Structure 1
Amino acid sequence: MSILAIDAGTTGVTALVVTTDGAIAARGYQEFAQHFPQPGWVEHNPEEIWQATLEATRSVLASYQGPPLTAVGITNQRETVVLWDRETLGSPRRAIVWQDRRSAEICARLKEAGHEDRVRELTGLRLDPYFSATKLAWLAENEPNTWALVESGRYAIGTVDSYLVARMTRGIWHVTDASNASRTLLFDLNTGDWSQELCDLFGVPLDALPDLVPSWGVIADTDPRMFCGLTLPIAGIAGDQQAALFGQTCFAPGEAKCTYGTGSFILTNTGTDLLRSDGLLTTAAWRSPEGELTYALEGSIFVTGAAVQWLRDGLQIVGSASETAAIASTVDDSEGVVFVPALTGLGAPHWDPHARGLIVGLTRGTTRAHLVRATLEAIAYEVRDVMETMGRDAATLRVDGGAASNDLLCQVQADQLGVNVQRPRFVESTAIGAAFLAGLGTGVWASTDELRATWQVEATFTPKSERSQIDAGYRRWLDAVERSKGWAQV
């Protein structure tokens, strides 16, 4: 038996076929365009996400040779908001992406009105442009004609998982799970349901939101006319970071993972305990079919892999992300160059939407190798920022995502944290987590213990560098971060 996993990320869609031993039998991938209509704004065309999903699925089906597929699991970029017509499934405007900063003024207004403490109490989140409801409030204020059709019931609101389920089922189902709902600022972590109080605060009609379903278990069937001729039960849904936590088999409280993607996200499973921490987010990890919520503490870093993408596409000083380890390894260190990749503001633990990217320490001797190494070091510094805020006393950190294949980054990360960094045999933990959820929901795996048995370490990186040197570099980083803050307000 095999599971189809769809991972609708920020820059592209990955489709995997995952077998019962947790191995990847086939892969497909398709990028889609990024749109930047103004500084700080980031948008995606929903139709392009859907076409990329179809293309990635066709690709994986063309290369897969094995038993029939059992189910499909979906994981997705979180917080991004999509509007679509319930009848035609067409979208009236581009999706507003999680990285988008346009609602910073709305957040500031709500903070000044004294709403942040209550919002954090209910949601575990902050008033930040990162989250969905602030983007919806912006749409209500700035695009009244579009918003009128939301209020009339013509347009549905959802995160990317909801949109994909609607497209796969020909518009019959409008659903999401707790892991995605908990990222909207509209979900009450205490009750495990949408909050009328929060909907009123942000001006979002409750009946425009998706129905809440468990993270695993059969939810709906795909329509073969819409989805590559496939009739499969959709049996797993989770936001990408929670899916990665599941894919890394971090099922016990205290187990943690870091996913290096467009941004980087560190999650620690806290079980059924709803823990809170300054500088971090409390979020739903997943909900069982029996209704039990598992929670997590999260540190959300907005730009890590996207910084490497900027080196490639913006500065054009690397040809591909895979080159960065080789280029950075040609120098022993960054020679004092520090890069703060606050290209869309700062996330955890600093939370400054007005911060902007900063490169300091340049000299006449600075080369592209120093800048590339400074970029990899910045990723490790950002993760250390979060881990120190979490106060975790652990011997290992499990890593995944595309950049986890970079041996130099993993070694720098181990040195910065002073703990072992473990990389699994497959770094696509996000998509694997979606497959695990769908397989658990259809009986392919009987329990999380069976899933845990499939997880294997491919490499372990142990700390090697001198601690005093490592800490001196980190202090320089913290100094540079302070200099980057508030820049857009200057």
Structure 2
Amino acid sequence: MNKKYILAVDQGTSSTKTIIFDEAGTAVARASEPLASKYKGAFVEQDPQEIYRNVLASVEKCLQDFTASGGELSSIQACGISNQRETFVVWDEAGKPLYNAVVWQCKRSVAVCERLKEEQLEPLIKAKTGLLIDPYFSGSKLIWLYENEANVREAVDTGKAYFGTIDTWLLYKLTNGQSYFTDYTNASRTLFFNLAELKWDQELLEVFNLSHLNLPEPKPSSYLFAASDFNGLFPQPIQITSMIGDSHAAAFGEGCFSPGTAKATMGTGSSIIMNIGEKAQGSETGMVTTICWSTEERVDYALEGVIVTCGATIEWLKNEIGLISDSKETEAMARAVADNNGVYLVPAFSGLGAPHWDMSRKASITGLTFGCNKNHLVRAALESIPYQIKDVITAMEQDTGIALQELNVNGGLTSNKFVLQFLSDLLEKPVAVQRMPDISALGAAYLAGLKAGVYKDIDHLKTLNQDKVVTRPGEQTEQVKSDYEGWQVAVGSSVPVKAELSV
């Protein structure tokens, strides 16, 4: 029997990764192509045409890798796309971008958000979309474009502007403008998608002065969106059978198929998503409600907590303070001392995210005495990562009444065994790391393969990629609990316990 393969395109902020997976969910070919962003003050943008070219270049490299090892292009059954969330493009009837792609990191709409809050719109927006008013989400930046760019405003008002998150833009380009869809996860990050009705919310669009904007038709993440030959890279078009935001793709790739299963990406920052089942639930603790993933038979919802600073704290210790020369040193340094000696680092370098949402907060180190050394500071920095994750998980459990079953983690910090053990001790739950590093691509491939018939069903997916490294709670659980109480004081009080160093 001929083998069947799935092409997965993971279009990220800094690169596009393309991976080909076989029927066992194993990566057999891969490639990556770097992508640049343009930074100017609070503005972060990318060239929409370059994003498309970047994807084609990455796919071409991956196909070359695949065929060089004997693979046949005709055995690739379908394509799945995962993408950087919230980043969006607005284009005209001819498919020409009216402005650069506005990246999720962009903060240009802070004033717009403040105005929306002053107009008392947050309760309405939260009830309909599950989101908070924040520059992170696409809608406020789209309002900024409408109010500040005359060509965008004219195109919107005359019904000639087309909006799309990156999945939609790529689908549009890959099909020469013939397909105009998005999936529920990407739609749910815009600030104008109704979570309960799974459609664009006309009331919010009118409030935002965007009622004449053309919007893609939302569909489940696993769906036959279109077919494309990828600008001639394939001799015959292949079906595109999944599109999904990258964090949601990671949750699916990690196996977050049932309520209480969660994933945490531990990178520069952290996105924590917990599956809460078939019913959307609001949060009273600073989480956002979102779509976890969806097929044509099923829609699972999730709570998400965004932590602003995780790995970036370690980079700060290395690059700005000079305590370490390599992040790999931190594990041994943390283990070189018995505890944190009462030192806590609150990494609010860019404010505090969920569940605190204090974006004006500054970073601080509390508990410093002459008995402290650099190992205590490094340990405090590492401990701040599990502490923040614990804050989010606890808030999610309080919101939903659903207890965490297992936390699946991915990202660069998963190589630090101290962090994993401390996190497991703190949560008193298993912490699992999958050996497959490109988890968003895997999730997109799974969803594409479900629709294409390469993977039978969810139960089939549960049997794949079982090779996980699981860290379980150890002997330090009680000590870690006590340490966490100190964190709660440090993060919740502006009055230092001992000396405080603002950073």
- Scaled by the length of structure 2, what TM-score is found? 0.86
Q: How does 1:149-298 map to 2 (within 5 A)?
A: 149-225=155-231, 231-278=237-284, 279-290=286-297, 292-298=298-304
Aligned to 2:407: 397
Distance in 2 between residues matched to 1:41 and 1:471, nearest whole Å: 41
What code does the residue aligned with 1:404 have? Answer: T
Aligned to 1:18: 21
- Scaled by the length of structure 1, what TM-score is found? 0.88
Conservation of the 8 A alpha-carbon contact between 2:98 and 2:152: no
Distance in 1 between residues matched to 2:176 and 2:373, nearest whole Å: 53
Aligned to 1:100: 106
Distance in 2 between residues matched to 1:115 and 1:85, nearest whole Å: 30
Instruction: Write out per-residue CA displacement over residues 10-43 of structure 1, whole angstroms, 9 at most, x where no aligned residue.
Output: 33222111111111212222332344322x5443
- State which drifts further: 24-33 or 425-434: 24-33
Distance 1:8 1:325, change over 3 A: farther
Is it true that 1:33 corresponds to 2:31 in the alignment? no
Aligned to 2:481: 471
Distance 1:371 1:206, change over 3 A: farther
Aligned to 2:138: 132
Conservation of the 8 A alpha-carbon contact between 2:287 and 2:355: yes
What code does the residue aligned with 1:58 have? Answer: E
Is it true that 1:445 corresponds to 2:452 in the alignment? no
Aligned to 2:499: none
Given candidates 69, 73, 82, the residue that maps to 2:76 is: 69
Distance in 2 between residues matched to 1:257 and 1:428, nearest whole Å: 14
Distance 1:164 1:386, change over 3 A: same
Conservation of the 8 A alpha-carbon contact between 2:223 and 2:242: yes
CA RMSD of aligned residues (A): 3.0
Conservation of the 8 A alpha-carbon contact between 1:19 and 1:25: yes
Aligned to 2:11: 8
What code does the residue aligned with 2:88 have? Answer: V
Distance 1:59 1:74, change over 3 A: same
Q: How does 1:381-392 map to 2 (within 5 A)?
A: 381-391=387-397, 392=402
Distance 1:482 1:408, change over 3 A: same
SS in structure 2 at match of 1:134: helix
- State which drifts further: 395-404 or 310-319: 310-319
Conservation of the 8 A alpha-carbon contact between 2:198 and 2:218: no
Distance in 1 between residues matched to 2:234 and 2:324, nearest whole Å: 36
Unaligned runs of 5+ in 1: 486-490
What code does the residue aligned with 2:5 have? Answer: S
Conservation of the 8 A alpha-carbon contact between 2:98 and 2:151: no
Distance in 1 between residues matched to 2:318 and 2:61, nearest whole Å: 26
What code does the residue aligned with 1:189 have? Answer: L
Conservation of the 8 A alpha-carbon contact between 1:247 and 1:436: yes
Distance in 1 between residues matched to 2:26 and 2:341, nearest whole Å: 41
Distance in 2 between residues matched to 1:481 and 1:166, nearest whole Å: 45
Distance 1:444 1:265, change over 3 A: same
Given candidates 409, 418, 421, the residue that maps to 1:408 is: 418
Distance in 1 between residues matched to 2:370 and 2:178, nearest whole Å: 61
Distance 1:19 1:36, change over 3 A: same
SS in structure 2 at match of 1:15: strand
Conservation of the 8 A alpha-carbon contact between 1:168 and 1:227: no
Aligned to 1:456: 466
Given candidates 435, 438, 457, the residue that maps to 1:428 is: 438
- State which drifts further: 406-415 or 193-202: 406-415
Identity over aligned pairs, percent: 39
